[in-house]
Every structure is written in C-alpha cells, then in structure tokens.
Amino acid sequence: MINKFTLYPAIDIKNGKCVRLLFGDMDKETVYNIDPLDQAMWFVDQGAEWLHIVDLDGAVKGKQVNKISILKILKTLQNKVKIQIGGGIRSKEKIDFWLGNLADRVILGTLALENTSFVNNLSQEYFKKIIIGADVRNGMIASHGWEKQSDIAAIDLLRKFDQSLVSSVIYTDISKDGSMKGVSLDQTISFAKQNPHPVIASGGVSSLNDILKLHENFSNGIEGVVIGRALYDKKFTFEEALYAIRKGIS
C-alpha cells in the first residue's frame, strides 16, 4: 500500500543521452546530459528515492535500444535508489529481463493497450511490479512512443486491470509534457478518483506549486509525480521539491 507522496525525477534516454522532448515529439529534443548515469547519480545525491527511466528510442521501436546505458545505472546504483523503467517493454521476456537486472518496477504502455489479458494473466510473482502507462491525448490512450492514437478512453482501459498486479498508473497528458505550462490538475484528479489504482501524475510540471497541488490530492489517489524539464531547466532543485512536500510550502 502506498503510504506517502513520492517524487520521481525523470531520465529519458535517446541515442544514449539524457534528453527531454516537447509534447513527446522525437524531433523536438533538448539534450541535457550526454551521460545518463551522471544524471542519475546527481538525482540520488539530492535525495531521490526513485528514478523514472524511459528508453525513448525503445518506446518507438519496441525494443531496448538504450539497454547498455540503463543497465549501467541499475548496476551502479543498486541498493541506493529504486528504479522504474519504461519504453518498448512489450513481452514477458523483456519484463523478466529488467526485473532480473535490478529494476523494481516496469512500465507497460503499448503492451497494456494491445493485450490487457496478458497483463492480467501474469502470476503473483509480479505483484505490484507492474505500472501501466496511461499516455493520454484528449482523453484517449496513445501508444508506440505516442506515435499512434487509439479511440480508447484511459479510464475505460485502466478499469480492466487486476489491482493485485498493478502497482500504479502513470497518467501523462501529452499536450502538456515537456512544456512546463503547468499540470492538468483537474483532469488528473478526475482520473485518479475514477481509477482503482494509485496514480502518478506526469506532464507539464513547472513550479513547486504544481507539485504541492498534486500532493494535496494524495487522499484522492494521486501518489506521486514525475518531474522532468522543470528540474533540468533549474526552475527548482530536487532538494527544494522534497522540502516543499515535507513542509507543505511553496
């Protein structure tokens, strides 16, 4: 059971580098660090208890393109931080690979959309190790690195999953991701209230106030937030974000 609000600094990897995209567009990237491990260590030094790592190339191509970079992070930082990984994980073999290489949780997006029964038929050894990535554009799920758009409503999809297997759901508003225009607070709260799983908000965080507003809705099912560009563009530090939710100040 989730018992505290958690901050998840994001490490998105493209061509072996730590980048941020604008609205999920692979052609609109900003490179922030050529060494993802260095970036991961920086977040851990600032007090991060979790890292949110996504293989962006993998999400589009359906295979682990940046495997070497991610494995280096997992092996170097074992026992120092917990890690959830996403991007192109579309088979049991890939799930087992990451869980067998020290990942704590895996994020399933495209696979969850295309094969709900696969997720629900996983055995209890996967208890709370699965995160569903609800990447949403106008309320509907997008997949394959956000390049394909479905006509399936996010809330309808999430109601299909076994609560005993799913740790949480990452709710990403694609229209806000990487924009620092503020979180889609009302939509995220509404989704969390209707959804049986704990929700991790994602997309658009621009200030400590955004984080505090989400934190205030812990009782509504929002258990954490993924923070990306705001940290990289130094709108605030990870340490400041941690202090803010602990003290409840902006």
By annotation, the residues acting in catalysis are 12, 135
Query: How many CB atoms within 10 Å of residue 1?
Result: 5
d(CA 194, CA 74): 34
Element holding 173 (H helix, E strand): strand 166-173
d(CA 17, CA 31): 7
Pairing of strands 17-22, 25-33: antiparallel
Q: Determine the residue type at 179.
A: S
Element holding 241 (H helix, E strand): helix 238-247
DSSP state of 72: H
Chain center to CA of 174: 12
Closest CA to 98 of 123, 129, 124, 125: 129
